[in-house]
Amino acid sequence: MLAYDASADSLVECLRLGESAIIESMRRFVHSVVDVFGDEYLRSPNDEDTARLLATNERRGFPGMMGSIDCSLNDIDVLHWSHLLDDLAAGEAPKVQYSINGHHYTMGYYLADDIYSEWATFVKPIPSPVGRKQQHFVLQQAAARKDVERAFGVLQSRFPIVKGATRLWDGTPLAPS
């Protein structure tokens, strides 16, 4: 199901298992992955992660940037399951200290596309950049966001399941409970 983005009923003959056994195996697999890797990869950034992200992005010319949000697939559905979005919606973001053009800020930000909500933590592209400074910023912002798009492109080319949300045959999302 994961490798070929196939439904359980389409794998019955190939696997010589019943549809319910395939679905149950998938549920157990997903829960096992969450159990094994969840503490490391499904958690909010800790202080060490935050320091590393801030240092990396400052070297790239984006002081205070925590990262980019751009799944390039059904973004809102993907973010619906994200603890990051829950924290941002609650007005919680990693506390950071940085200054840009003489203005002091205390909250990290994420580069985002136009489809995202109007939150202080999302920095979206300037719709019609005027002047060299704004045009330069738009180019640099797009280049930084492209890193995330390229990473997903590699995953999508290797694993077709990454191209869309995984759903079981009954249409329910396959997400950990």
Q: What is the pTM of this model?
A: 0.66
Residue 77 or 91, more confident: 91
Task: Please name the helix (run of DSSP H) or strand (run of DSSP E) that holds residue 122, with its range, or none.
Answer: strand 122-123
Lookup result for tokens 């330069």 = 136
pLDDT value at 31 more than 60:
yes
| DSSP assignment of 71-95 | -SSSHHHHHHT-HHHHHHHTT---E
Identify the pLDDT of residue 165. 55
Identify the pLDDT of residue 55. 93
Query: Can you tell me the distance from the alpha carbon of 78 to that of 113, in angstroms, rounded to the nearest whole number?
Result: 14
Percent of the chain with pLDDT over 90: 12
Contacts of 63 (CB under 8 A, 6+ apart): 54, 57, 98, 99, 100
pLDDT value at 76 more than 80:
no
If pLDDT is split at 50, 70 and 90, which confidence band does 131 have? very high
pLDDT value at 57 more than 70:
yes
Identify the pLDDT of residue 169. 47
Average pLDDT along the chain: 79
pLDDT value at 130 more than 90:
yes
If pLDDT is split at 50, 70 and 90, which confidence band does 73 have? very low
Identify the pLDDT of residue 86. 72
Contacts of 33 (CB under 8 A, 6+ apart): none
Contacts of 125 (CB under 8 A, 6+ apart): 113, 114, 138, 141, 142
pLDDT tens, position by position, 137-161: 889 888 887 877 787 778 777 776 6
